[in-house]
Amino acid sequence: MATRPWGGSGAAYRECRSCQLVTLARIPNADELDRMYADYYSEENIAHQTTEMESSDTALHAHAKFLAARVLKPGMRVLDFGAGIGTLGQALKQYGFETEGLEHSAGARETARARFGIELYATVDQLEKGRYDLIVMVEVIEHLTAPWETLRTLRECLAPGGRIYVTTPNRNGLQARLHGARWREAKPFHLMLFNAHALSRMLGDCGFADTGTIRFSPLTTDAWPARLVHRCLQAVALYGGLRMLGTRADGAGR
């Protein structure tokens, strides 16, 4: 697989010339990742990032509102994969949907238990095949060490015709183009960076069809100038986030 540096001189990322996927040149090992997430999801860290967390919570509620209005139908069952502390799942429950969550980080699961009194799955082995009508992965796929394997497993957890909703930072967005390796999303636990082509190709390779980019922004302000800018950036594929839906494809060879 031919690759080239991405993000400027001395960058820690490599870009595949074929699929356009950008990957960290050195993937942290499991222990290193566990330490990163333990620090990130600690109560102490959350307490020192109140504004950021509130903004994130608001964005997750916006995702829930969008999914409830545009994707889900009454009685559908949802899996929030990479649930964090469970905020999105709780928001979807408020719209009347049966929601379960999976989160690898023990610290995040503990916080979910303390904040919401909910239990989250820890591994995909605990999931039931064919159970869900929608699986959501909000800002998760860039964290996975084995995304192809994970997506194929999640496909089996969807009911026939079930859908997957994936969001991730857009490495073709305006800020990424301006800042390269100094882009704020080029974090040590963001193992892969996607553009629309790379994400659609990965979903297709893992058994999802009818993949399409959604023009939706979980903007946390009502100011019309900001909303206009976001719409314009989405129209020319320079928006900072990707939102994509795909449908479970049932066929030979998947």
> In this structure, is residue 17 part of a structural domain?
yes
Asked if 120 contacts 102 with a C-beta cutoff of 8 angstroms, the reply is: yes
Asked if 162 contacts 133 with a C-beta cutoff of 8 angstroms, the reply is: yes
The confidence score (pLDDT) of residue 107 equals 87
Q: What is the pLDDT of residues 74-116, one digit of tens each?
A: 999 999 999 999 999 999 999 999 999 999 988 899 999 999 9
The confidence score (pLDDT) of residue 177 equals 87
> In this structure, is residue 83 part of a structural domain?
yes
**Residue among 85, 96, 206, 87 at smallest CA distance from 141:** 206
The mean per-residue pLDDT over the stretch 138-156 comes to 96
The answer on pLDDT for 33 being more than 90 is no
β-strands 132-138, 77-81 pairing: parallel
The domain tally of the chain equals 1
> In this structure, is residue 253 part of a structural domain?
no
The confidence score (pLDDT) of residue 197 equals 95
> In this structure, is residue 8 part of a structural domain?
yes
> In this structure, is residue 97 part of a structural domain?
yes
The answer on pLDDT for 224 being more than 80 is no
Q: What angle do helix axes 50-70 and 87-94 make, rounded to 10 degrees?
A: 40
Q: What is the pLDDT of residues 160-216, one digit of tens each?
A: 999 999 999 999 998 888 888 788 888 888 999 999 999 999 999 999 999 999 876
> In this structure, is residue 240 part of a structural domain?
yes
The confidence score (pLDDT) of residue 223 equals 55
122 contacts: CB under 8 Å, gap ≥ 6: 102, 103, 104, 106, 109
Where is average pLDDT lowest: 130-144, 151-165, 175-189?
175-189
Q: What string of H, E and C letters represents the secondary structure of the chain?
A: CCEEEECCCCCCEEEECCCCCEEECCCCCHHHHHHHHHHHCCHHHHHCCHHHHHHHHHHHHHHHHHHHHHCCCCCCEEEEECCCCCHHHHHHHHCCCEEEEECCCHHHHHHHHHHHCCCCECCHHHCCCCCEEEEEEECCHHHCCCHHHHHHHHHHHEEEEEEEEEEEEECCCHHHHHHHHHCCCCCCCCCEEECHHHHHHHHHHCCEEEEEECCCCCCCCCCHHHHHHHHHHHHCCCCCEEEEEEEECCCCCC
β-strands 22-24, 192-193 pairing: antiparallel
Most confident of the ranges 19-23, 128-132, 170-174, 175-179: 128-132
> In this structure, is residue 82 part of a structural domain?
yes
Q: Quick one: pLDDT band at residue 253, thresholds 50, 70, 90?
A: very low
- Structural domain for 228, as ranges: 3-248
Q: Quick one: pLDDT band at residue 2, thresholds 50, 70, 90?
A: low
The CATH number for 105's domain is: 3.40.50.150
> In this structure, is residue 254 part of a structural domain?
no
| Structure tokens given for 127 | 């999931």
